[in-house]
Amino acid sequence: MIVGARMLALACVLAGAPLDAEAHTRSQSVSQWIITDDGARVVLRVPLLEITRLPDAEVTSRADDELDRWLGAYTTSRVGLYAGEERCAVVASPEVLRPAEDRVGIAWALRCGPGPRVIESRFLLDVAPAHLHFAQVRRAGDAAERILSAREPRWVLGDTPGESEARSLRQYVWLGLTHIATGVDHLAFLLALLLVGRGGREVVVVVSGFTIGHSVTLAVAALQLLQPEAPAVEALIGLSIALVACEGVITVGSARMWGIAWALGLTLLAGVGSLGVGTVPTISLLGLALFAGCHFPLLVRATHPERVRAAVALLFGLIHGLGFGGFLLDVGLPPARVAGALFGFNVGVEIGQLILVALAWPILRVLGRGLWREVGLSGVTALGVYWFVSRSM
């Protein structure tokens, strides 16, 4: 009880501190290019939230036509096609498309002279240096895609199909690796798994459960067999972090207290959600309340708690996989190219996880299970609660 009370106090203090950690979702945009002998047609799509990053956007104060002109000029000045060393000319004023409330599209035509074609994107790099731009090209019956970034903003068209596919696979592996490395919430979840682990074998089993879970739903979401609601998924990822971190201090005497506390809190949020407030469905919150109320008492009474933790890690891995899959889903890859992108991205994610576990687990073993562990678990719990509440509203 003393350990649980101390952790609860630490978590409350940390939860009250200003937290600027962002979701794992990276800044990104997508463009489709139809390349012809004398030019190109381009359609670029970007979440409207990304546009609000720009200090000159003034999205809320500009009239729609003024904002459209500004957005078209900004986009065509930073995304272009070159023929040799000469930049292709914009034929007419860009057209702004609004297919959804949270997303905007910009379409324009280009006229080019002779010379090898090069696509360049510096879109949003002035305000989001980590921004990724997915360029998809159709040219003479062939299709290819490339990820453009601050590190590699230009794409010289002309690779053979085999070279293009191999390069794209390498890029998706790198994308998965950097995605897990920069996804603060996924790193926090893995840290929670390592902090509650009581031995090397248990860590392997639990992390394997998480890997299986997120691999399944990553494929399901990326193949568009399921289209998750991104805000709800992001909120549930935060909740999974807080629940797993709490497992590290549950004792036989405190298990019932923790279960009741979580169940009451989630039931209260479900009541608020029934009034139309929040992003997580009411039925999901009620289900999680029932889960939390039963999980903690079961955990301390189980003969093999590592099996319970592995099952829970697999369950929460399914939720995290929806977050990964939503990231690939936003790219809008052609069906024929989804499998390769999915494979490369998943390989990169697994490599990132293995590196983290290999680096962190020996350090945690050396440090032992003292007060620092309580502080670590409290901090992770506070982060999870903060992400859950802030993303739910």
Residues 162-175: pLDDT tens digits? Answer: 555 666 778 788 87
How many distinct structural domains can be found in the chain?
A: 2
**Torsions phi, psi for 89 (to 5 deg):** -85, 145
Q: Is position 166 within any domain? A: no
Please indicate, yes or no, if residue 218 is contained in any of the structural domains.
yes
What's the rounded mean pLDDT across residues 27-39? 89
Tell me what pLDDT residue 128 has: 87
Q: Quick one: average pLDDT of 14-24? A: 43
Residue 391 to residues 38, 206, 233, 239, 261, Cα–Cα distance (Å):
47, 26, 9, 10, 21
Pair 19, 73 in one domain: no
DSSP letter for each residue of 52-87 = TTSTTT-TTTS-HHHHHHHHHHHHHHHEEEEETTEE
Tokens of 358: 């290999």
DSSP per-residue string spanning 337-391: HHHHHHHHHHHHHHHHHHHHHHHHHHHHHHH-SSHHHHHHHHHHHHHHHHHHHHH
Point out the domain boundary residue: 129, 160, 191.
160
The stretch 48-74 carries a mean pLDDT of: 74
Per-residue model confidence as pLDDT tens digits over 325-368: 766 666 666 666 677 778 888 888 889 888 988 898 888 888 87
Q: What is the per-residue pLDDT for 22?
A: 44
Task: Tell me whether strands 28-36 and 132-139 are parallel, antiparallel or unpaired.
Answer: parallel
Same domain flag for 84 and 96 = yes
Alpha helices in the chain (DSSP H): 2-15, 48-51, 64-78, 161-182, 184-196, 200-222, 230-246, 255-273, 282-301, 305-329, 335-367, 371-392
Do both 14 and 122 map to the same domain?
no
Three-state DSSP class for 135? strand
Residue 98 in domain:
yes
174: which residues sit within 8 A by CB, 6+ positions away? 348
- Does some domain include residue 171? no
In a domain, 312, yes or no: yes
Q: Are residues 196 and 49 in the same domain?
A: no
Measured over the CA atoms of residue 62, residue 64, residue 69 and residue 71, the dihedral's sign is: positive
Which of these ranges, 47-61, 97-111, 319-333, 347-361, has the smallest mean pLDDT?
47-61
Q: Is the pLDDT at 312 greater than 80, yes or no?
A: yes
pLDDT of 91 above 90: yes
Q: Say whether pLDDT at 193 is over 50.
A: yes
In this structure, the answer to whether residues 297 and 225 fall within a common structural domain is yes
Report the chain's terminal Cα–Cα distance, integer Å: 32
Do residues 129 and 233 share a domain?
A: no
* Type and span of the H or E element at 155: strand 154-156
Average pLDDT for 106-131: 92
**185, 202, 173, 175: which is closest to 316 by C-alpha?**
185
Position 2 scores a pLDDT of 43
Identity of the amino acid at 41:
R
- Percent of the chain's residues with pLDDT above 90: 25
Residue 204 reports pLDDT greater than 80: yes
Q: How confident is the model at residue 201 (pLDDT cuts 50, 70, 90)?
A: confident
| Among the ranges given (12-21, 253-262, 331-340), the one the predictor scored with the smallest mean pLDDT | 12-21
Cβ-based burial of 364 (10 A; exposed 0-12, middle 13-18, buried ≥19):
middle
**Quick one: what percent of the chain has pLDDT higher than 70?**
85
The DSSP symbol for 248 reads G
- Per the domain annotation, does 176 fall within a domain? no
CA distance 357 to 114: 52
Residue 245 pLDDT exceeds 60? yes
Domain identity same for 136 and 202: no
The residue among 94, 126, 160 that closes a domain is 160
Mean pLDDT of 314-331: 80
Among candidate residues 160, 191, 211, the one where a domain is terminated: 160
pLDDT at 143: 74
Is 332 among the domain residues?
yes
**Whether residues 242 and 290 fall in one domain:** yes
Task: Count the neighbouring beta carbons within 10 Å of the beta carbon of residue 1.
Answer: 9
Within this chain, do residues 138 and 48 fall inside the same structural domain, yes or no?
yes
To which residue do tokens 């019932």 refer?
A: 256
| Full domain range(s) for residue 220 | 2-24+183-392
Q: What is the mean pLDDT of the chain?
A: 82
Helix or strand holding residue 145 (H, E): strand 142-148
- Whether 66 is in a domain gets the answer yes
Q: Taking the CB of residue 232, how many other CB atoms lie within 10 A of it? A: 18
Residues 6+ apart with CB under 8 A from 220: 226, 321, 325
Please tell me the predicted confidence (pLDDT) of residue 227.
75
Q: Does one domain contain both 20 and 32?
A: no
Of 317 and 163, the one with more pLDDT: 317
CB 278 within 8 A of CB 232: no
328: nearest Cα among 212, 240, 250, 223: 223
Token duo for residue 211: 């890997």
User: Nearest to residue 299, comparing CAs of 265, 256, 261, 266?
Assistant: 256
Q: Are residues 152 and 195 in the same domain?
A: no
Q: Are residues 63 and 78 in the same domain?
A: yes
